[in-house]
């Protein structure tokens, strides 16, 4: 009978049932949904990894691995399959740009790439390129990838690959690619090639599938165990196989050594031979040359003698000739003298003849002159009388002088006549002498003729001799020439010989080097070591995904608390109300003799029915929708995991149902506990209405001015505390959820807004290729200085450096070329502060998230792994607000101190003037040194695009919030209306319009909504902080603040939800029959 009554009650109180049902469904949906997301994420991951045949273990050896190793590993128990594999990092060129690529071999048995577009390679020189977004945008199928490393050919048969498709690799299910051993240390992408493309003799690693791993969920304990067992069994083999490999490598090296040694011996022999041969030949040649030279010298001596003789002979001839010539000259002179003497003689003879004539004439004249003088004397005397005495005297004197002169003349003539006579005698003797002289000359001439003849014959002999000599000289010259030739030949021969020796020596040196090398090699061969990696070591993101799943699980422990709390309150108020309503009936039943348990059973049954029905619906919906939305949202990060596996999880479902039922049951028992204890008699009486009470506030004057409906509202609020709390919690929960929703948007958009607007104030960044020539680099710098659109720029180097203690993770060293100018490009300051940090040589400034992850702060030391073996500690100067990347800001000096290298700046940060960005991009990319240019507004756009994906999550949260608000307000209204039907009907009868009646009820809701919103502000802030820090991913720090407008929107939305429910309830209110007012109190 009681059961029938129970069923009727259910039918009658649909609203009440629905309230409990809804809130339980909501709570359970959230609880089981979020909780199930954790295993669902793992299952989805597992499904993906299984589909791609992700390797379970990976063995890397320090000495490489061989087919022998593969065979041995394959034989191990528990190993399903093993396969050799290759990978190596290269700098590669695709189109104009340079990329750090990891070239990996792929197969269809291990780590199968997931083809995104194109096809799988069919030839060695074809490849699949990483399908990361940037590549998909920048390159096309058909583009060629050229590997740049020098030793590429030793590893790969081909160094140019044609892209035939884009693919994802199971090692990298997110966008991050990790670090690389080449270039700037950041791996940009993957290049998947056929294994045949690798020509290196050994495998880089061996991939291992374990028996049964496929059937296990990879993130589970069982899998861990299996994986660990695999590691153990591999470790057992490690020593043996390492020994084999060591022996093999040492053997190879020893072979090489022997070879080298043989080479050396040969070389040495050659050298000896060459030396001997050369020596012999050379000494012989030298002797010959010496002989020839001696001969020539002898010949030259002879020639010199001959020449001397000739010269002597010539001299004799010459002296004879000159003698003859002298004699001839003397002869000629003698002849001339003779001739002259003859002529003189003749002339003297003539002169004598003339002088004789003259003398005779002179004698005749003198005689004539005397006669004259006498005549004149006579005349004078005769004329004496006629002339003055004086004249006479003078004339006389003249005549006398003339007479004297004449006498003198006569004397002279006399002397001359004597002289002539003497002369005539002398001439006669001279004539005699001449005759004797002429005879002498004739004999001399004969002698000369004879001498001349002798000389001529001597000359002839001499010329003959000279001719001979000339010939001898020519012979000697020839001999010299020949000798020179001989010498040259000798030199050549010598050089040749030397070269040969040098060659031989080189060979020896080479051989020696080889030997040294080989010896070194052998010495260097360390005993190999295996690195056996499980999946989380193979793929960083494998573990991250697991952690993210756990994060979601953690959320699942917090979020539903709100719902369960509200669910409890809702059932508490609802059931309390129900029990109160049926007081009389309870009393009657008890009076009829039913036990308290039987009576209470009805209410417990009622609550549990609603609860279980709600739970089931909640589980069914929650475990599908929430994992789907959450995993899809995560697929922004984990781009590979697209297939979502979400089976119903029995354990979480049962757990959710148990918790929900426990809560509800507690609430029910609490609400009917008192009634069950009362005696039937008192139950039969209607419960005395709770007395109205004057409130504290009523003591103040303004109370009188408060309208009566408001008074009633306020008094009601205070009277029914359960409802107050239920509504407060519900609305606060709703508000908090909406805040979390909007806050998520704020926080994530802060990454772009704060990072790229507030903190990073540059306009564009240029990636620089540091390996171009100095000139090209300078060209680019000139461009940066001179381009009109570039206002100014700052050079920096970004380089990945591992940081941290036990768990290291990659930090991004940011080396600022001019630290004092950094603040106009990137502002470094603590969150909430405006005081800028100086980057100085004393230490580094690190990002907020980095600091939080390492649990360090300003003044602490940061451990930087500058190489595999070396760890350095630097002081942390400050912790800066930063939302993306684990930046370590440092000075060039600090960088040099850490790495021992001068920083090569690989990026330039630009401030731009107004202008066409596309044109600037084209201008800049034309420089060889410019790898790429990205504009900040583009980066911002890209991040904002990502935010759109969050819409689904926000929608789910807001929907849940709306439902929470709905359930609570609906329930509150239901109770209020149900409880106060009479009151409301009375008001209607009194002539209150519907709207006035409604506002009388709703005022309470509005007030509670407002209080709930206020409480929700605080709750939302706390919840948001928790959610944000829990779901945050590596590299990115989400914003911690919620915008004021988000609070406003949340408040408005919550208010709107509340009002919508009120509006819906308005119709129910309208339906209240005024006749109710006439009815008796039940």
Partner 1 sequence: MSFVECREVRKTYRMGEVEIHAADGIAFAIEKGEFVVIVGPSGAGKTTVLNLLGGMDTLTSGEILVDGVDIGKFNERQLTKYRREDIGFVFQFYNLVQNLTARENVELALQICKDPLKAEDVLAEVGLSDRMDNFPAQLSGGEQQRVSIARALAKNPKLLLCDEPTGALDYQTGKAILKLLQDTCRERGMTVLVITHNQAIAPMGDRVIRIKNGKVSDIKLQEHPVSVDEIEW
Choose the binding region for partner 1 from 355-363, 707-715, 933-941, 970-978 (rule: CB under 8 A).
Answer: 707-715
Among residues 367, 425, 442, 1074, the one that binds partner 1 under rule CB under 8 A:
1074
Instruction: Give dist(CA 734, CA 739) in Å, integer.
Output: 9
Q: Which uninterrupted H or E stretch holds 472?
A: helix 389-524
Quick check: 994 binds partner 1 (CB under 8 A)? yes
Q: Which of 261, 342, 349, 719 binds partner 1 (CB under 8 A)?
A: 719
44 in Cβ contact with 643 (< 8 Å): yes
Helix/strand/coil for 847: strand
Token pair 């009657």 in the structure block, residue: 588
Least distance CB 643 / partner 1 (angstroms): 56
Closer to partner 1 at the Cβ: 990 or 1064? 990
Stretch that binds partner 1, among 382-390, 407-415, 481-489, 708-716 (CB under 8 A): 708-716
- Cβ proximity to partner 1, 650 vs 1081, nearer residue: 1081
Residue 693 beta carbon to partner 1: minimum distance, rounded to whole angstroms? 8
Which sign does the torsion angle of CA 445, 448, 449, 450 carry? positive
CB of 752: closest distance to partner 1 in angstroms? Answer: 54
**Chain length of the chain:** 1082
Give the pairing of strands 79-85 and 87-94.
unpaired
Residue 807 found at the interface with partner 1 (CB under 8 A): no
C-alpha to C-alpha distance for 96 and 931, rounded to whole angstroms: 8
Distance from the first to the final alpha carbon of the chain: 22
Q: Which of 342, 445, 711, 776 binds partner 1 (CB under 8 A)?
A: 711
- Please, are residues 230 and 81 in contact by the beta-carbon 8 Å criterion? no
4: exposed, middle or buried (Cβ count in 10 Å: 0-12, 13-18, 19+): exposed
3-state SS, residue 317: helix
State the minimum distance, in angstroms, from the CB of residue 992 to partner 1.
Answer: 6
* Of residues 468 and 1073, the one with the C-beta less far from partner 1: 1073
Among 199, 989, 1052, 1064, interactor with partner 1 by CB under 8 A: 989
Applying CB under 8 A, the span of 264-272, 583-591, 951-959, 1070-1078 interacting with partner 1 comes to 1070-1078
Give the separation between CA 882 and CA 591, rounded to whole angstroms: 73
Lay out the site mask for partner 1 across 1020-1059 (x = CB under 8 A, - = otherwise). Answer: ----------------------------------------
* Residues 6 or more apart in contact with residue 1078 via CB below 8 angstroms: none
CA gap 668, 661 in Å, rounded? 10
**Helix (H) / strand (E) containing 863:** strand 861-865
Q: Closest Cα partner for 156 from 126, 131, 113, 112? A: 126
991 lies in the binding site for partner 1 (CB under 8 A): yes
Of the candidate spans 456-464, 490-498, 756-764, 993-1001, the one that interacts with partner 1 by CB under 8 A turns out to be: 993-1001
999 contacts partner 1 (rule: CB under 8 A): no
Contact window for partner 1 (CB under 8 A) among 76-84, 369-377, 465-473, 688-696: 688-696
> Which one, 90 or 1000, has the nearer CB to partner 1?
1000
In the complex with partner 1, which residue's Cβ is closer, 290 or 1079? 1079
Q: Smaller CB distance to partner 1: residue 897 or 983?
A: 983
Work out whether 1078 is an interface residue with partner 1 (CB under 8 A): yes
Can residue 699 be called a binding residue for partner 1 (CB under 8 A)?
A: no
Site string (635-674) toward partner 1, x via CB under 8 A: ----------------------------------------
Q: Is 702 in the site for partner 1 (CB under 8 A)?
A: no
Rounding to the nearest 10 degrees, give the CA dihedral for residues 709, 710, 713, 718. Answer: -140
Nearest residue (CB) to partner 1, 761 versus 986: 986
According to the binding rule CB under 8 A, does residue 1080 interact with partner 1? yes
The piece of 428-436, 553-561, 947-955, 988-996 that touches partner 1 (CB under 8 A) is 988-996
Extract the tokens encoding 654: 């049962």
- The least CB distance from residue 658 to partner 1, in Å, is 40
* 205, β-bridge pairs: 60, 85
Residue 495 CB neighbour total at 10 angstroms: 12
Residue for token digits 């930063």?
882
Q: Which two tokens stand for residue 165?
A: 């498709």
* Pair of tokens at residue 427: 């001439």
Query: Cβ of 673: how many Cβ atoms within 10 Å?
Result: 12
Binder to partner 1 among 212, 662, 692, 857 (CB under 8 A)?
Answer: 692
142: left (phi over 0), alpha (psi -120 to 50) or beta: left
Binding mask 505-524 for partner 1 (x = CB under 8 A): --------------------
For partner 1, the closer of residues 203 and 1000 by Cβ is: 1000
Helices 540-581, 596-634: inter-axial angle, 10-degree rounding: 150
Closer CB to partner 1, residue 190 or residue 1069?
1069
Phi, psi of 760 (to 5 degrees): -95, 105
Q: Which is nearer to partner 1, 689 or 832 (CB)?
A: 689
CA distance 432 to 434: 5
Q: What are the C-alpha distances in Å from 970 to residues 532, 563, 577, 686?
A: 60, 15, 14, 26
Identity of the residue, 993 or 1067, whose beta carbon is nearer to partner 1 in the bound complex: 993
Contact 742, 589 (CB under 8 A): no
Q: Provide, rounded to whole angstroms, the least separation between the CB of residue 716 and partner 1.
A: 6
Least distance in angstroms from the C-beta of 679 to partner 1 = 23
Report in angstroms how near the CB of residue 976 gets to partner 1 at its nearest: 12
* Measured distance CA(479)–CA(488) in Å, rounded: 14
Pick the closer one to partner 1 by CB: 918 or 1080: 1080
Q: Which is nearer to partner 1, 751 or 1001 (CB)?
A: 1001
Minimum CB distance to partner 1, residue 995 (Å): 10
Pick between residue 719 and residue 829 the one whose CB is nearest to partner 1: 719
Cα(767)–Cα(188) distance, integer angstroms: 13
Strand, coil or helix: what is 150?
A: coil
Could you tell me how many residues of this chain bind partner 1 (CB under 8 A)? Answer: 34
689 sits near partner 1 (criterion: CB under 8 A): yes
Could you give phi then psi for residue 81, rounded to 5 degrees?
-160, 150
| Residues 670, 674, 677, 682, CA torsion sign | negative
Among 990, 1048, 1052, 1056, binds partner 1 (CB under 8 A): 990
996 lines the binding site for partner 1 (CB under 8 A): yes
Closest CB to partner 1 among 551 and 716? Answer: 716
Q: Which stretch, 703-711, 887-895, 897-905, 925-933, contacts partner 1 (CB under 8 A)?
A: 703-711
Provide the phi-psi class of 756: left if phi over 0, else alpha when psi is between -120 and 50, else beta: alpha
Question: Does 712 engage in binding with partner 1 (CB under 8 A)?
Answer: yes
Among 16, 577, 988, 1024, binds partner 1 (CB under 8 A): 988
Residue 270 binds partner 1 (CB under 8 A): no
DSSP H or E segment with residue 667: helix 650-677
Q: Judging by beta carbons within 10 Å of its beta carbon (0-12, 13-18, 19+), is residue 1041 exposed, middle or buried?
A: middle
Q: In the range 966-985, which residues lie near partner 1 by CB under 8 A?
A: 982-983, 985
Q: Name the E strands within 587-631.
A: none
Instruction: Candidates 6, 202, 670, 992: give the one binding partner 1 (CB under 8 A).
Output: 992
Query: What is the smallest separation between the CB atom of 722 and partner 1, expressed in angstroms?
Result: 17
Site residues, partner 1 (CB under 8 A): 688-693, 707-709, 711-712, 715-716, 719, 982-983, 985-994, 996, 1074-1075, 1077-1081
């Amino acid at each position: 009978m009681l059961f029938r009554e129970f069923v009727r009650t259910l039918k009658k109180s649909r609203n009440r049932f629905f309230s409990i049902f809804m809130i339980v469904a909501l709570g359970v949906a959230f609880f089981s949904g979020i909780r199930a997301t954790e295993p669902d994420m793992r299952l989805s991951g597992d499904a993906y990894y299984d589909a791609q045949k992700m390797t379970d273990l990976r063995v890397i050896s320090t000495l490489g691995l061989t087919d022998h190793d593969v065979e041995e590993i394959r034989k191990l128990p528990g190993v399903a399959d093993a396969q050799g594999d290759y990978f190596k990092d290269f700098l590669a060129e695709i189109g104009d740009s340079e990329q750090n690529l990891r070239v990996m071999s792929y197969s269809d048995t291990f780590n199968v790439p997931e083809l995104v577009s194109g096809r799988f390679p069919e030839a060695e020189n074809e490849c699949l390129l990483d399908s990361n977004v940037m590549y998909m945008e920048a390159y096309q199928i058909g583009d060629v990838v050229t590997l740049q490393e020098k030793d590429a050919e030793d590893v790969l048969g081909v160094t140019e690959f044609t892209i035939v498709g884009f693919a994802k690799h199971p090692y990298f299910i997110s966008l991050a690619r990790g670090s690389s051993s080449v270039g700037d240390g950041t791996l940009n992408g993957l290049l998947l090639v056929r294994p045949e493309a690798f020509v290196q003799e050994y495998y880089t690693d061996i991939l291992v599938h374990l028996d049964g791993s496929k059937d296990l969920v990879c993130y589970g304990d069982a899998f861990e165990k299996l994986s660990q067992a695999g590691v153990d069994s591999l470790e057992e083999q490690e020593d043996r196989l390492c020994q084999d490999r060591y022996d093999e490598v040492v053997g190879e090296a020893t072979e090489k050594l022997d070879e080298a040694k043989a080479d050396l011996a040969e070389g040495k022999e050659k050298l000896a031979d060459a030396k001997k041969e050369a020596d012999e030949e050379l000494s012989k040649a030298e002797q010959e040359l010496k002989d020839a030279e001696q001969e020539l010298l002898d010949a030259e001596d002879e020639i010199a003698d001959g020449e001397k003789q000739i010269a002597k002979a010539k001299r004799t001839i010459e002296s004879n000739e000159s003698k003859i010539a002298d004699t001839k000259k003397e002869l000629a002179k003698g002849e001339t003298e003779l001739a002259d003497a003859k002529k003189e003689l003749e002339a003297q003879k003539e002169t004598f003849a003339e002088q004789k004539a003259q003398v005779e004439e002179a004698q005749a004249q003198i005689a004539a002159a005397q006669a004259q003088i006498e005549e004149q004397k006579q005349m004078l005397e005769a004329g004496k009388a006629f002339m003055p005495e004086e004249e006479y005297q003078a004339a006389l004197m003249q005549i006398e002088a003339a007479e004297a002169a004449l006498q003198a003349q006569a004397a002279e003539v006399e002397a001359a006549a004597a002289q002539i006579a003497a002369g005539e005698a002398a001439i006669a003797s001279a004539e005699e002498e001449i005759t004797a002289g002429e005879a002498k000359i004739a004999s001399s001439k004969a002698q000369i003729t004879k001498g001349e003849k002798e000389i001529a014959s001597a000359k002839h002999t001499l010329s003959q001799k000279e001719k001979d000599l000339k010939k001898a000289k020519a012979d000697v010259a020839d001999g010299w020439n020949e000798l020179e030739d001989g010498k040259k030949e000798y030199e050549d021969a010598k050089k040749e010989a030397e070269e040969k020796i040098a060659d031989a020596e080189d060979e020896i040196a080479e051989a020696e080097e080889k030997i040294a090398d080989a010896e070194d090699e052998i010495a260097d061969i360390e005993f190999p070591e295996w690195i056996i990696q499980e999946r989380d070591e193979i793929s960083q993101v494998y573990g991250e995904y697991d952690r993210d799943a756990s994060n979601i699980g953690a959320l699942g422990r917090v979020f539903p608390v709100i719902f369960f709390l509200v669910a409890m309150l809702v059932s508490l108020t609802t059931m309390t109300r129900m029990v109160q309503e049926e007081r009389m009936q309870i009393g009657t039943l008890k009076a009829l003799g039913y036990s308290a348990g039987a009576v209470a059973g009805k209410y417990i049954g009622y609550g549990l029915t609603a609860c279980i029905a709600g739970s089931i619906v909640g589980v069914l919906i929650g475990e599908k929708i929430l994992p789907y939305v959450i995993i899809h949202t995560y697929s922004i990060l984990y781009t590979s995991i697209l297939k979502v596996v979400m089976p119903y999880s029995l354990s979480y479902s049962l757990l959710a149902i148990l918790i929900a039922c426990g809560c509800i049951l507690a609430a029910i028992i609490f609400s009917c506990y008192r009634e069950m204890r009362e005696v039937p008699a008192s139950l039969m009486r209607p419960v005395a209405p709770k007395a109205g009470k004057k409130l504290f506030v009523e003591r103040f004057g303004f109370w009188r001015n408060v309208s009566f409906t408001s008074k009633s509202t306020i008094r009601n609020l205070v009277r029914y505390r359960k409802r107050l709390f239920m509504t407060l919690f519900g609305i606060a929960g709703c508000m908090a959820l909406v805040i979390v929703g909007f806050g998520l948007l704020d926080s994530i958009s802060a990454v772009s807004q704060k990072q790229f607007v507030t903190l990073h104030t540059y306009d564009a960044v240029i990636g620089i290729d540091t390996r171009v020539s100095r000139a090209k680099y300078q060209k680019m710098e000139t461009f940066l200085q001179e381009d009109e659109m570039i206002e100014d720029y700052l050079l920096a180097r970004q380089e990945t450096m591992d940081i941290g203690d036990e768990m290291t993770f990659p930090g991004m060293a940011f080396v600022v070329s001019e630290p004092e100018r950094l603040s106009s490009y990137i502002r470094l300051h603590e969150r909430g502060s405006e005081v800028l940090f100086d980057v100085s040589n004393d230490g580094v400034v690190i990002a907020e998230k980095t600091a939080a992850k390492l649990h360090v702060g300003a003044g602490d030391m940061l451990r930087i792994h500058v190489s595999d073996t070396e760890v350095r500690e630097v002081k942390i100067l400050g912790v800066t607000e930063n939302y993306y990347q684990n930046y370590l800001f440092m000075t060039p000096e600090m960088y040099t101190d850490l790495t021992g290298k001068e920083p090569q700046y690989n990026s330039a940060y630009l401030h731009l003037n107004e202008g066409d960005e596309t044109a600037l991009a084209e201008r800049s990319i034309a420089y060889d040194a410019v790898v790429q240019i990205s504009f900040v507004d583009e980066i911002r756009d890209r991040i904002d695009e990502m935010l759109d994906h969050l819409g689904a999550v926000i929608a789910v949260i807001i929907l849940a919030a709306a439902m929470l608000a709905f359930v609570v307000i609906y329930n509150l209204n239901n109770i209020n209306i149900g409880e106060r039907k009479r009151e409301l009907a009375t008001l209607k009868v009194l002539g209150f319009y519907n709207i006035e009646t409604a506002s009388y009820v709703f005022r309470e809701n509005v007030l509670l909504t407002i209080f709930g919103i206020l409480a929700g502000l605080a709750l939302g802030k706390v919840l948001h902080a928790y959610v944000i820090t829990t779901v945050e991913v590596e590299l990115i720090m989400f914003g911690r603040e919620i915008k004021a407008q988000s609070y406003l929107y949340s408040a408005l939305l919550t208010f709107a939800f509340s009002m919508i429910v009120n509006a819906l309830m308005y119709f129910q209110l309208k339906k209240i029959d005024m006749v109710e007012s006439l009815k008796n109190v039940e």
